[in-house]
Amino acid sequence: MAKHYYTVTWDQLHRDAKALAWRLHEKGPWTGIVAVTRGGLIPAAIIARELECRLIESVSIVTYDEENRGEPVVTKHPVAAGDGTGFLIVDDLVDSGATAKVVRHLLPKAHFATVYAKPAGKAQVDTFITEVSQDTWILFPWDTEPQFIAPLARKP
């Protein structure tokens, strides 16, 4: 169980993904983007728009069940990306680096970028925007919905 939770809003995610696109723009041009599903789909769409990249591929890797981490399992390979030459891999977060290692094995010549990175996995990616502590669970906007929360003073 995480010690800390960090909520990312849609606006913040968009700003952070666009900031990542700014960093990646000078490293291109890119032949295509490989989105790591599911978390990388929305950042990849934002980055694809900013970089005017039309070839979007995906790789599906199942690692988490809620907050429980298991062994990564590839459920869809990124066939169109070949060995990754000229491709940009985009994910929302690198945590332990386990998923990133699998993707790097599949696409050894691609450039790997994430919006957020934790210390244990950040060495697995080439570019990221924001580092968060290892004991923080990021609540992405697609995993949450707005609701009333009682003020801290009301909690026991």
Neighbours of 99 (CB within 10 A): 25
* Residue 149: CB atoms within 10 Å: 8
Point out the residues that are catalytic: 91-92, 95
Q: Work out the percent of the chain whose per-residue pLDDT is above 90.
A: 80
Of 137, 81, 127, nearest to 105 by C-alpha is: 81
The CA distance from 46 to 117, in Å, is 18
Tens digits of residue pLDDT in 87-128: 999 999 999 999 999 999 999 999 999 999 999 999 999 999
Structural domains of the chain, with CATH:
4-142 (3.40.50.2020)
Q: Is this prediction's pTM over 0.75?
A: yes
